[in-house]
Amino acid sequence: MKLDTRAAAAAAALLCASALGIGTLAAATPALANSGPTTKRTPPAAAKRAPKPRAKARAKATPKASTTPKPTPTGPVVISVASLSSAYGSTAGGTTVVLTGKGFSRVDATKKSSVLFGTTPATTFLVLSDTQIAATAPAGTGTKVQVSVTDGTYTSPDTTGDDFTYLDPITVAVPDRTELSAAGGTVVRLTLSGKNLDLGTSQSTFAAKKITATVDGTTAPLTWVDATHVDLTAPAGLPTKTGAKLPIVVYNNGVAGPADSTHARYDAVVTKLSVTSGKLAGTTGSTAKPALTITGVGLATATGFTFGKTPGTCTAAAGKESTTWTCVNIPAGPAGAVPVLPTFTDGTTAGLTAGSIYTYTNL
């Protein structure tokens, strides 16, 4: 039987497909592929071409690690106290302290706990500005405390500038009827007392204690004597009128103790006489050539001078009423030394000094 040419070709193609594999059948036998019904296959989408990788950026040099550790952040400081006008105060309280810092305008002035000395509220305080507060320290023990400020949310951190130390005040006793030269230089022995009083054992150790004194507000040097006594050298001052007394205060490192205001006064004094001796009959001079020139301190309100108990003829030098007077004549007097002293009607007193002595003699 004679095979159909088409069928023979298809059979040959089928044999080839067995050798090449099913996947190539359609390509190898196009005639067979078109010889019957087939399902059209959609070829898979071509894979996208991957972009070429860019050249790697040149690596930057890695900096060396710092050997210093970074501080741990603690948050913003909203309120702070940088310094105090006084780092010391009395254990009795009452020391006025001006705080300098920042953030003080945030403080509620109605709350006592806004300003603390340690854990104790200030007796009073006044917000002067955003950077200053004036406060009165409360009483405390002899210790160092932190002065802090708070607005209720933020509190000033502890610094070396906000330290306040309580010290025991020193009480001074002045001898009764102490008369101080208005010219200065009078030495007065003071008795000191107080809790935990320590004056040292010598002048050098005493000086290290920073114990000082004032007379009527003027600084007066102190010299160590023993465990409870010091010698005060009074500065110059104005004569006390109407018998009034002046305050003497001793300070413990700037902390004032109670003043003694009942036992000392300043006296007007004669410090020098141009002539220190003369005849018993006295000496006669003139306006152009006075018999005596008197130099002193606090003489402005004097009404005249006496030689012992005898008044002299003396007047104040123009423009130098407080320090210089001249006597046209020196009155007669008994043999011996007498004080030359000013007289006052306003209650001012005069003190006796070596410079005010005049001696009558015929030798």
Q: For the chain, count helices (H), then strands (E).
A: 4, 29
Nearest to 160 by CA among 263, 82, 255: 82
SS (H, E, C) 173-223: ECCCCEEEECCCCCEEEEEEECCCCCCCCCHHHHHCCCEEEEECCEEECEE
Q: pLDDT tens digits, residue range 9-54?
A: 444 443 344 443 433 333 333 433 444 444 445 455 444 455 555 5
- Long-range CB contacts for residues 311-315, cutoff 8 Å, separation at least 24: 311/343, 312/340
Instruction: Please tell me the distance from the alpha carbon of residue 298 to that of residue 346, in angstroms, as a whole number.
Output: 13
CB 232 within 8 A of CB 222: yes
Task: For 77-91, give one letter per residue: b (16+ CB within 10 A) or e.
Answer: eebbbeebeebbbbb
pLDDT at 137: 97
pLDDT at 54: 56
DSSP 108: -
Q: pLDDT tens digits, residue range 173-217?
A: 999 999 999 999 999 999 999 999 999 999 999 999 999 999 999
Q: Which amino acid is at 249?
A: V
Task: For 327-352, give one letter per residue: b (16+ CB within 10 A) or e.
Answer: bbbbbebeeeebbbbbebeeebbbbe
Please state whether beta strands 310-311 and 324-330 pair in parallel, antiparallel, or not at all (unpaired).
unpaired
Q: pLDDT tens digits, residue range 280-294?
A: 999 999 999 999 999
Nearest to 238 by CA among 278, 196, 267: 267
pLDDT at 328: 96
pLDDT at 357: 98
DSSP 31-96: HHHTSS--PPPPPPPPPPPPPPPPPPPPPPPPPPPPSSPPPPP-----SEEEEES-SEEETT---E
Q: pLDDT tens digits, residue range 56-94?
A: 445 455 555 445 444 434 567 899 999 999 999 999 999
Q: Which residue has the higher pLDDT, 105 or 21?
A: 105
pLDDT at 241: 87
Please state whether beta strands 357-360 and 277-278 pair in parallel, antiparallel, or not at all (unpaired).
parallel
pLDDT at 81: 97
Name the pTM for this structure.
Answer: 0.70
Look up residue 17 and give its two tokens.
């497909």
Look over the chain and give the mean of its residue pLDDT values, rounded to a whole number.
Answer: 85
pLDDT at 74: 52
pLDDT at 300: 94
Distances (CA, A) of 110 to 114, 119, 291: 8, 18, 73
Q: Which amino acid is at 252?
A: N
Q: Residue 363: pLDDT band by 50, 70, 90 thresholds?
A: confident
Those residues with Cβ within 8 angstroms of residue 261's Cβ, 6 or more apart along the chain or in another chain: 245, 246, 247, 248
Q: pLDDT tens digits, residue range 311-347?
A: 999 999 999 999 999 999 999 999 999 999 999 999 8
Nearest to 79 by CA among 134, 10, 153: 153
Instruction: Please tell me the distance from the alpha carbon of residue 125 to that of residue 147, in angstroms, as a whole number.
Output: 12
Those residues with Cβ within 8 angstroms of residue 166's Cβ, 6 or more apart along the chain or in another chain: 88, 89, 90, 91, 140, 141, 142, 143, 144, 145
